[in-house]
């Protein structure tokens, strides 16, 4: 097979690599992560709101973590560190979809909201998801709410869908 010594293929590769880097940097500047909190009767819940840059309202996803001490990013000290929910939020943002992920009561930054594990219940988790949903529904940056739950979070999302104002549910 003949070897091409023409500079065009090298220039094309350099151009493509440069475009990929510039596009990646541009995308990084078009998304903002903001801290967000929700006051409840037992304390404050904390989360992260990832919002893509847009002049129009965008869809927003409420990401609900699974069972156990799983934090807003999808990490569980008993089962590994993989940032699954954080990565999902970043992927959604690249496609123009905002997301809110939060630490469940009794977990990570929201630990003080229910320090005694005996006070945790599905009903409280559902009430929390509904309250987060209502908070997002009232935000003019967003035009529709979608709930996404993983594992136990899917059960919570299913039970909270009607009371949160969600237009869609993914479990």
Which residue from 26, 33, 45, 52 is spatially nearest to 142, judged by alpha carbons?
52
* pTM more than 0.85: no
Q: Which domains does the chain have, with CATH numbers?
A: 31-170 (3.40.50.1820)
- Which tens digit of pLDDT belongs to each residue from 62-103? 999 998 888 898 989 887 789 999 999 999 999 999 999 998
Q: Is the pLDDT of residue 16 over 70?
A: no
Other beta carbons within 10 angstroms of residue 71's beta carbon come to 21
What distance in Å separates the CA atoms of residue 100 and residue 35, rounded to the nearest whole number? 10
Q: What are the two backbone dihedrals, phi and then psi, of residue 119, each rounded to the nearest 5 degrees?
A: -90, 0
26 to 29, 66, 143: CA distances (angstroms): 5, 33, 24
């Amino acid at each position: 097979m003949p070897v091409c010594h023409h500079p065009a293929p090298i220039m094309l590769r350099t151009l493509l690599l440069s475009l990929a880097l510039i596009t990646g940097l541009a995308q990084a500047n078009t998304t903002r992560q903001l801290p967000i909190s929700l006051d409840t009767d037992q304390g404050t819940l904390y989360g992260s709101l990832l919002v893509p840059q847009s002049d129009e309202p965008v869809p927003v996803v409420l990401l609900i973590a699974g069972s156990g001490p799983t934090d807003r990013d999808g990490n569980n000290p008993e089962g590994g560190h993989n940032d699954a929910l954080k990565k999902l939020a970043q992927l959604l943002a690249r496609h123009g979809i905002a997301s809110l992920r939060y630490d469940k009561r009794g977990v990570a930054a929201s630990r003080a909201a229910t320090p005694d594990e005996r006070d945790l219940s599905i009903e409280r988790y559902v009430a929390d998801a509904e309250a987060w949903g209502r908070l997002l529904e009232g935000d003019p940056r967003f035009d529709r709410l979608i709930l996404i739950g993983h594992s136990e979070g899917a059960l919570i999302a299913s039970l909270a869908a009607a009371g949160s104002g969600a237009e869609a549910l993914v479990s």
